[in-house]
Structure 1
């Protein structure tokens, strides 16, 4: 299970005094530190946001709490929209790019946020009502559903390219004389590279050849499972080492050369031409890309 994005942005309100300080001042200070409270981590595949509402003065406590809760929900929904808008779809695009140009995407995002689930709520010591809401990252009605449909549309998947003939001729001679079992998948080692997690990552070689990406993956699979499986941190790396990832028990491990340059979102990796040919040649042997058995360690 994964945590992808979490942020808290705070509503500026006024009117209630707490220990000589107004809620407005407290919320302004919180908002100034909002960036420090944002995180991009992996957990249950949910995107979460926190919202706050102030207790209105001069009304019964029960009704005041109801109004504060509603204000907190609206604030959390607003914050979810902001987080979703900034989410990277591919190397050059965020969800916001599609929101500007597509009424369909806008409608889907609005519906998703309106239907967001409240997962936690409480009254803070400072008198503010706090609500945490979440939307799914993957599956039907998720951010991935919106993003991948916007990119892929009705296109059918295209096959990955073949390795270069010169490489195949030499590599097949080596493989024929080898008793090594076929690889069950591929692990792309991008550890400590600063790569950004996204819905449509791609693998290129140093010659600019597109090796693997969203256009090679069944759309429904990508929406439910992702184009690649991401592994970050020692616990998830251990999961891969133990053979429990979708790359299987005998993955081909390839270290990246770098990240793709001159793009907005650093989410695409570059591997050497020889490693790309080896990956594609081994895929012809074991067909692990037919199962999208790709893990990206970040």
Structure 2
């Protein structure tokens, strides 16, 4: 009778793709242009799980119903924890592994589960059971993302994205200078959504990742946005995603798996230099206007 769901919901203008709830508060970051402070571009996924409780017999109905509800809440929280454990942090680890080696993460994840919200509930009369649906946010204040980024980024300031290769000639390659964002197309490549994705080129150079993002921004919005399936791809095509109305679109060479998860993308050296050269003019990486199509 148990059922655990990882449900991805969308804000009005953006479709993500695997588990979370909208934050009520969004932070305006001074270094980020107003275009990318719009809450419509935030990740709005939640991890959701059901729990069930059986009404005990030989007890007044009201008391039995209350006890069944309590049992359903406990089971939903247990199911939530199991779902949360499987969430990828990066290509090397997931939440469960981090909890095993870091007592702070274990404690903070437990706190997130304890603070889970009841978003739906019902008494199923024909079965004599009570169902509760609970959720925890992946982004925003008090979220799983806050636990992750507090421990991954800590108090370190963001690292600037690199410059193009010294041999790259922006004039010869006709830098556009008006791109609103970056779209990385990885459709059908088996890319796993994660809190800490990265973009590399085929030489192994890191182009963009979690350390290039302000921590508060990462907590509220994520390092990248994910567009999954036709509905998500349509948001990108219509210019209503985080990448804006005129994104630079680049295809991947492959998906990179370092240890456990296929979370990182690899692009050509030529595309990497083009992205970094365009960013000097348009600053879309500096504004974190990055979407992965999966």
TM-score normalised per structure 2: 0.84
Higher helix share: 1
Deviation at residue 46 of structure 1 after TM alignment: 1.4
**Aligned length in residues:** 260
Equivalent position SS for 2:160: coil
Aligned partners of 1:205 and 1:271 also within 8 Å: yes
Q: Does 1:185 align with 2:184?
A: no
Q: Does 1:123 align with 2:119?
A: no
**1:91-142 Cα deviation digits (max 9, x unpaired):** 1111112212222222222222112111111122322211000111111110
- Aligned residue in 2 for 1:206: 202
The structure whose RCO (Cα within 8 Å, separation 6+) is larger is 2
- Aligned residue in 1 for 2:25: none
Deviation at residue 181 of structure 1 after TM alignment: 5.0
Aligned partners of 2:46 and 2:138 also within 8 Å: yes
- Aligned residue in 2 for 1:269: 265
In structure 1, how many angstroms separate the alpha carbons of the residues matched to 2:147 and 2:165? 36
Deviation at residue 231 of structure 1 after TM alignment: 0.7
Deviation at residue 214 of structure 1 after TM alignment: 0.2
Q: Does 1:239 align with 2:240?
A: no
Map of 1:52-67 to 2, 5 A cutoff?
52-67=52-67
Deviation at residue 42 of structure 1 after TM alignment: 4.1
In structure 1, how many angstroms separate the alpha carbons of the residues matched to 2:159 and 2:60? 63
**1:151-197 Cα deviation digits (max 9, x unpaired):** 11121111111111112x2x323427xxx452111100011111111
Map of 1:1-298 to 2, 5 A cutoff?
30=1, 38-39=5-6, 41-43=8-10, 44-124=44-124, 125-167=126-168, 169=169, 171-175=170-174, 180-298=176-294
**1:214-234 Cα deviation digits (max 9, x unpaired):** 000000000000000111121
In structure 2, how many angstroms separate the alpha carbons of the residues matched to 1:293 and 1:131? 37
Please say which of residues 260-269 and 201-210 is displaced more in the overlay: 260-269
Aligned partners of 1:51 and 1:79 also within 8 Å: yes
CA RMSD of aligned residues (A): 1.6
Structure 2: give runs of 5+ residues left out of the alignment: 11-43
Whose radius of gyration is greater, 1 or 2?
1
TM-score normalised per structure 1: 0.83
Aligned partners of 2:5 and 2:49 also within 8 Å: no
Flag as ranges the 4+ runs of structure 1 deviating above 4 A. 37-40
